[in-house]
Amino acid sequence: MANIVVVGTQWGDEGKGKVVDLLADRAQVVVRFQGGNNAGHTMVVEGRTFISHLIPSGILQNKACYIGNGVVVDPEVLLDEMESLRKMGVSVTPENLGISERAHLIMPFHKALDIARETARGAGKIGTTGRGIGPCYEDKAGRRGLRFVDLMDFETFSRQARQVCEEKNFVLTGYFQAPAVDADAMIRSFSDFAERLAPHVTDVSSALDRATAEGKTILFEGAQGTHLDIDHGTYPFVTSSNTVAGNVCAGCGVGPGSVHGVLGIVKAYTTRVGKGPFPTELHDEVGDRIQERGAEFGATTGRRRRCGWLDLVLLSASKRLNGLTGLAVTKLDVLTGLPEVKICTAYRLNGKEIQRFPANLTDLAACEPVYETWPGWEGDLSGVREFDRLPENARNYLRRLEELAGAPLKIVSVGPGRDETIVLENPLTNP
């Protein structure tokens, strides 16, 4: 048995969904440990595209899937996603999808506040998705949040929800001059949500403990990427939760001994959605070409992703923060046909070369990337299933990435489909 955490090593959108879907074949349990529906995992199976925002990717293989207590859940979005998957022939039942009774609920007033705040920031917008994730985590930390366990006692839930809604409406109308949230309509809708989701609500921590005792393999699935972590990311242009592997324990209710390895997902180049410094960003035809060939649009927002060369300063920080035991490189095929490819190995700041990722965003914005240039490669990679059959220049690029990152290469993705993958070593067998 080898329980593995799958994390993004950049700013999200690295292809975690595909990798989890691929690895789920050897796992019995898949659990999401943080974030909300501001994240999206895109999977392509037999030519069909599935996008999940809350439900773990393992649902496509009918694995036991859980939404951990560290996730904030919009019940309307979750129900829509469940129905969408069912229409595509994917089974979603209480037997294969459990929701932590301790997970917090995203309420309509959270979304209203999110939008009102972002609108008020004007040119200083952070780039929030407006889905209420941040305000929900705020209420969680402020001890006024509403959880699924509360929803199961609807009389108590209704009283608490009205009380919190009154406070939020005061801020919405008095400070932001935004419309108030209709508390009665909100409570009616949540009555329906409670009835439909009750069969899925469970004690996820205990379920995972039983799975471990039975010798089952667990995949822990993160959302976003390391450098969107609330503590370790490019604050304030971050998400509102801890995205690093260490949050698995708090976000699922398991002990550190339950984790046997951490697989870091890294795109063969770097992308970022929204605002914030991006040292290797390309503002030229190469960046446009990568964006177009990689179909770099956010799975949740549809926003165009900013594209740049692979940043090993960024990746090295992720290796340290997550304790990576392996790497999965995605979208290698997107770089095919470029005459040369570059790897950022250091930054130049105020005339000095540094290899650390600055916490100060003014410093980060002033950093100039120091590049190694490698020759590109040609040919269709989508049919390659063995590392040695990749073009020599592609192999050299990957081996240099592996050397600089200080973590072994386990998986290389050469196309969007589940089968368009080279598995050098399955991390569930050898973490």
283 is catalytic: no
The answer as to whether 430 is a domain residue is no
The answer as to whether 17 is a domain residue is yes
pLDDT over 80 at 38, yes or no: no
200 is catalytic: no
Backbone torsions φ then ψ of 328, nearest 5 degrees: -120, 115
Q: Given this model, what pLDDT does residue 342 score? A: 98
Confidence of residue 431 (pLDDT cuts 50, 70, 90): low
The answer as to whether 431 is a domain residue is no
Task: Express each pLDDT in 328-369 by its tens digit.
Answer: 999 999 999 999 999 999 999 999 999 999 999 999 999 999
What number is the average pLDDT over the span 295-299?
Answer: 79
Query: Catalytic residue among 41, 104, 110, 227, which?
Result: 41
Q: Given this model, what pLDDT does residue 212 score? A: 95
Say whether both 188 and 242 belong to one domain. Answer: no
Backbone torsions φ then ψ of 374, nearest 5 degrees: -120, 145
Domain closes at, from 261, 280, 312: 261
Say whether both 113 and 48 belong to one domain. Answer: no
At 143, which CATH number? Answer: 1.10.300.10
3-state secondary structure of 198: helix
> Would the CA dihedral through 351, 316, 8, 38 be positive or negative?
negative
State the total domains in the chain: 3
Say whether both 235 and 295 belong to one domain. Answer: no
Task: Express each pLDDT in 405-427 by its tens digit.
Answer: 999 999 999 999 889 999 999 99
Confidence of residue 57 (pLDDT cuts 50, 70, 90): confident
What number is the average pLDDT over the span 64-68?
Answer: 97
Is the bond preceding 236 in cis, omega lying within 30 degrees of 0?
yes
Say whether both 347 and 216 belong to one domain. Answer: no
Q: Name the average pLDDT for the chain.
A: 94
The answer as to whether 215 is a domain residue is yes
C-beta of residue 227 within 8 angstroms of C-beta of residue 234:
yes
Q: Given this model, what pLDDT does residue 274 score? A: 84
pLDDT over 70 at 256, yes or no: yes
CA distance 102 to 148: 6
With a pLDDT cut of 90, the percent of the chain lying above it is 83
pLDDT over 90 at 115, yes or no: yes
Alpha-carbon Rg of the chain, whole angstroms?
22
Say whether both 95 and 213 belong to one domain. Answer: yes
Say whether both 121 and 245 belong to one domain. Answer: no
The answer as to whether 385 is a domain residue is yes
Say whether both 210 and 288 belong to one domain. Answer: no
Domain that holds residue 317: 266-423
Say whether both 84 and 109 belong to one domain. Answer: no
Amino acid identity at 394: A
Which residue, among 53, 56, 46, has the nearest Cα to 89 in the 3D structure?
Answer: 46
Domain closes at, from 150, 168, 197: 197
The answer as to whether 142 is a domain residue is yes
Domain closes at, from 152, 170, 197: 197
The answer as to whether 307 is a domain residue is yes
Tokens 């995605």, residue? 330
Say whether both 415 and 388 belong to one domain. Answer: yes
Say whether both 349 and 404 belong to one domain. Answer: yes
- Six token digits for residue 186: 């909100």
Say whether both 401 and 277 belong to one domain. Answer: yes
Q: What is the pTM of this model?
A: 0.93
CA distance 376 to 340: 4
At 272, which CATH number? Answer: 3.90.170.10
Say whether both 280 and 401 belong to one domain. Answer: yes
At 232, which CATH number? Answer: 3.40.440.10
The answer as to whether 428 is a domain residue is no
CA distance 357 to 278: 11
